[in-house]
Amino acid sequence: MHGGSPLGSDGNKRIPESRTAREIVRSLVFRVLPGRRPRLGRAAQGGAGPRRQGVRVDTAASGRELGAFLRAMRGRLAPEQVGLPNLGQRRTPGLRRQEVAQLAAVSIDWYIRLEQGRVGTPGAAILDALADALRLTDTERAHLHLIARGAQPPTRRPADPPESLLAILEGMPSLPAYLTDFRLDVLARNTAAAALFGPGFGPGINVARLTLLDPATRGTQLDWDRVARETVGNLRRNLARHPDDMRLREVIAELRTDSPEFAVWWDDHTVQDRSHGAKRIRHPEAGDLTVCYDNLTSPDGADHSITVLTPADAASATALRAILTAHADRLGGTRLRPVAG
């Protein structure tokens, strides 16, 4: 018979040479598990498609969602809003694809394929260029990165605190309060905080460095071990949220080198959200007092947090009033971080 017998010399059925290994495996799986489609290929093996919070994203669906989002975002912009000339009537509102490509410094062919879902996962830098071209808000920028890459955008320079948060500080003259970012850098403080912690406390101070490296501060914190450990856990939590922030990594590296306790606690992988608690403070003039602290986090996603201290008992309230009275004439108003240009 032309082409040879379908049986081998041992009498077993010969597999046609034209069948691929993939087809052979598929046929065997279908026979053993009828009704089950085998998950073969790179996507099934974890090598393709972005992940969103640990879950693999359907690449095709993600591409369609990304295209729809980009079309909606360019559809709301007029050329003059982005510095382009308006060359007459348009059949549809918004920017044209070639205008978005021009603003983002990408090729028009590539951008068209991106909107059509025919491009692999774009890089973070390209997505940021598109976000800038489309005048996206920080929330919209984060959404763009999530649907395109399954990840938050790399950390940018922390936004300046909104005026509403600064107004809260100024509106609490009798309660020590200060504003920090996710690095625990102090951005602003009110006069009551300066009276309690000293006039040097304010913008330019990092709370983690102050707590773990300053001997004088350590001496005033009667619950130092617990407070310091909470601070370490808070830094670890913030690093998970901002893994690409070099300033945060520099603070952590310095603390690992200069604070033996930090190195031990960091290696314990403790994670804390230090939002409420109480601590005892030894003030050089008023003696010991106990304060409750509450962290009020900004809902805008910028990771700004106001820490407000309130006296835990009547004796502490009396001590705090005495501190504020003694320092009333020596302290100015709310001290703010200089606004970056």
Domain presence at residue 89: yes
Q: What is the pLDDT of residues 269-296, one digit of tens each?
A: 877 766 789 999 999 989 999 999 998 8
155 found inside a domain: no
pLDDT band at 268 (very low <50, low <70, confident <90, very high): confident
Q: Are 186 and 319 in contact (CB under 8 A)?
A: no
The domain that contains 73 carries what CATH number? 1.10.260.40
Cβ–Cβ under 8 Å, residues 192 and 169:
no
| 203 & 268 share domain | yes
Residue 75, CB-side half-sphere exposure with 13 Å CA sphere:
9
Do 332 and 203 belong together in one domain?
Answer: yes
pLDDT digits (tens, 9 = 90+) for 84-128: 887 777 777 889 999 999 988 888 999 999 999 888 888 888 898
Taking the C-alpha atoms of residue 99 and residue 101, their distance in angstroms, rounded to an integer, is: 5
Domain match, 203 and 241 both:
yes
Of 149, 172, 196, which closes a domain? 149
Looking at the structure, tell me whether residues 218 and 293 fall in a common domain: yes
Measured CA to CA in angstroms, residue 76 lies from 116, 143, 335 at distances of: 19, 17, 40
What is the sign, positive or negative, of the torsion defined by CA atoms of 335, 339, 340, 341? negative
**pLDDT value at position 313?**
96
Confidence tier at 165 by pLDDT (50, 70, 90): confident
> How far is the first Cα of the chain from the last one, in angstroms, to the nearest whole number?
85
Shared domain for 203 and 73, answered yes or no, is no
Residue 47 has pLDDT above 80, yes or no: no
**What is the mean pLDDT of the segment spanning 296-303?**
71
Report the number of distinct structural domains present in the chain: 3
pLDDT of residue 13: 45
Question: Which structural domain, as residue segments, surrounds residue 98?
Answer: 51-149
pTM (predicted TM-score): 0.56
d(CA 306, CA 167): 11
Q: Which two tokens stand for residue 231?
A: 């601070």
Domain final residue pick, 120, 149, 178: 149
Same domain, 250 and 301: yes
CA distance 323 to 211: 21
Both 192 and 221 in one domain: the answer is yes
Q: Clarify whether residues 275 and 167 are in a common domain.
A: yes
Round to whole Å and give the CA distance between 338 and 160.
9
Asked whether residue 79 falls in the same domain as residue 212, the answer is no
Question: In angstroms, rounded to a whole number, what is the distance separating the alpha carbons of residues 83 and 93?
Answer: 16
Which two tokens mark 80? 């003059």
Q: Is the pLDDT of residue 24 over 50?
A: no
